[in-house]
Amino acid sequence: MSGTPFELYIYDTVRKRYPAYEGWEIYEQCSLKDGSRIDFYVVKRNAQEQLVYGVVIDAKDKAELEVVDIEQVTYYLTQTTADEAIIYVANDTLIPQTVQERADEEDVRIVRTQWGRN
């Protein structure tokens, strides 16, 4: 497992929500064709190994979430077969109303964690 301390923290949260015993696979720093990387790409497959559900997850340990962060995970959705996008943020990350509204429009879920930036 690699990544920033926040990404390592988020991995445990993601694994609890998407447990291996239920068939979930977590790919860290998953590369896309254009070279960009998704922090976590979580997938579930059926008995024939066909993807039945996918989630793109981005971990943002920053002072303020921006519209570009929403656009980034929305882009990840278009480049994968994922059904859902989630951004995990620190407990003290500012989420402006315009960013929350954009996330709502794009069906991107923002989850505040217990991680403190300070």
pLDDT digits (tens, 9 = 90+) for 39-93: 999 999 988 888 889 999 999 999 999 999 999 999 999 999 899 999 999 999 9
Of 2-6, 52-56, 82-86, 109-113, minimum mean pLDDT range: 2-6
Q: Give Cα 26 distance to the centre of its chain.
A: 11
Q: How confident is the model at residue 118 (pLDDT cuts 50, 70, 90)?
A: low
Nearest to 12 by CA among 118, 85, 115: 115
pTM of structure:
0.91
Contact 52, 46 (CB under 8 A): yes
Contact 48, 19 (CB under 8 A): no
Domains and their CATH numbers in the chain: 5-112 (3.40.1350.10)
